[in-house]
Structure formats: structure tokens, C-alpha cells
Amino acid sequence: MNVTRLSVNINKIATIRNARGGSIPDVVLAAVRCQQYGAQGITVHPRPDERHIRYQDVRDLRDVIKTEFNIEGYPSQRFIDLVLEVKPHQVTLVPDSHDVITSNQGWNVIKYEAFLKEVIREFQEAGIRTSLFIETDVTQIESAVSTGTNRIELYTEPYARNFSRDPVKAIAPYVKAAQKAVEAGLGLNAGHDLNLANLRYFHQHIPDLLEVSIGHALISDALYFGLENTIKRYLEQLT
């Protein structure tokens, strides 16, 4: 069984900072502390309006991230240029429109295969691992192979929404999707609405999971438990 890495999405740290202006809380210091407390990666998702993570934040973070840097976003030309400049370890491509509050769907890979293939090739030529944000439809996962992506990230909001009612039913499509991805030679990540209530169950049933990216729930829990203790609690769910 692979070790599943915890990548902390620090967008919400930037949201708090931007609500007041200035530099408090400091997103760079937050990234440093997350790593010191055991997180194995840092994720950011800069959006065009920079309402949380700013493009300059991404540049400022590069030199302090000693674990793994994952940049998420829609591959507009501005985003592509930023990723090629910063050269993170991984770029996760999401199909967000400019006005969504948070990611709310996976790629229609079949429809956008040619576009994604071109973007992915550009990133990989720069030595950047690629991942596609995707739902559990196995036909979409099969199409993802044709894009040349290294990994997919399973969009887990439907799992989280249904977990409390019927965990067996909630996890079932993710088990099938994960099996298909592994059979196809794709690395497997997951993220969106994973939390202390549902993460362990997800991890137990997806044995080939390489990485989870968690932001909103983790940063919210840190308000109650403290950042160091919260990261420890999340890591415990992955053991």
C-alpha cells in the first residue's frame, strides 16, 4: 500500500488576510508552519480575481516549500505562464469558470481532450507533473490517459455529501474509478470536502491513493484545535 501524502491547501489563510488587508495572517509563514507540523505538501489555487491566493503569493511561496508544491487552476494563458515561471512539483488542472466560489465539477475530458493534451505536454516538457481534476465516470478516466497526464485528482464532494447517509454507497463509485485509474497507469489523488469525519474511511477503501489536498475543513478545524494539532489529526486519518 502506498503512503498517502497530505497536501494542505492554504487558500483560506489568504482569504482571511485579504478580508482585512495587509499581510496578516502571513501565507508564507503558514506554509512553513504546515510543513514543520508534518504536512507533506502545500497546495494553492490562484484564481483570476486573486480573491484569496495572489499570483505574487505563488512566487513568494516557491522557495520556502521544501516538501511538494501543488498549484491548482484553470489553464488560462496567465495561469500557464505562472506555473512555467514557478515550476512547482505538480500542477492540477481544474475546469473552473472565473466566477465559481469553489471547484464544483471535474473535466469533461472527452470534450476537451485536444486542449488538455496540448497544455499537459507543455507542462511536462518543463518537468512538471500533471494531474486532472476529474469525476468518477470511468469513460472520462479512460480519456484522461489519452491526454498524457501523470495523475488524476478525484473530485470528492459527492462522496462527502453522501457519506453520513450511506458511506458504502458513497464510496462505491470512487472504488471503481480508482481501480480504473490504476489499471490505466494513472497516479491517484483526491480532494474537495474531505475532513476528519470522512477521510479515514475514504483512505481505507482507496488503497492506491497517493495524495489528498485539503484546505477548507483543515483550516476551519485549526480555529478550534490549533494548526499543529489539526495537521496531526489529519495525518492520523491517513495511517
What amino acid positions are annotated as catalytic residues? 45, 72, 192
Closest by CA to 72, choosing from 4, 13, 11, is 11
Distance separating alpha carbons of residues 67 and 53, to the nearest angstrom: 19
Contact 230, 222 (CB under 8 A): yes
Helix ranges (DSSP H) in the chain: 11-20, 27-36, 55-61, 77-86, 109-125, 138-147, 157-163, 167-183, 199-205, 216-225, 227-237
Secondary structure of residue 88 in the 3-state scheme: coil
Distance linking the first and last C-alpha atoms of the chain = 11
- Residue 134 grid cell: 476529474
Contact 144, 138 (CB under 8 A): no
Q: Provide φ and ψ at 42, rounded to 5°.
A: -125, 130
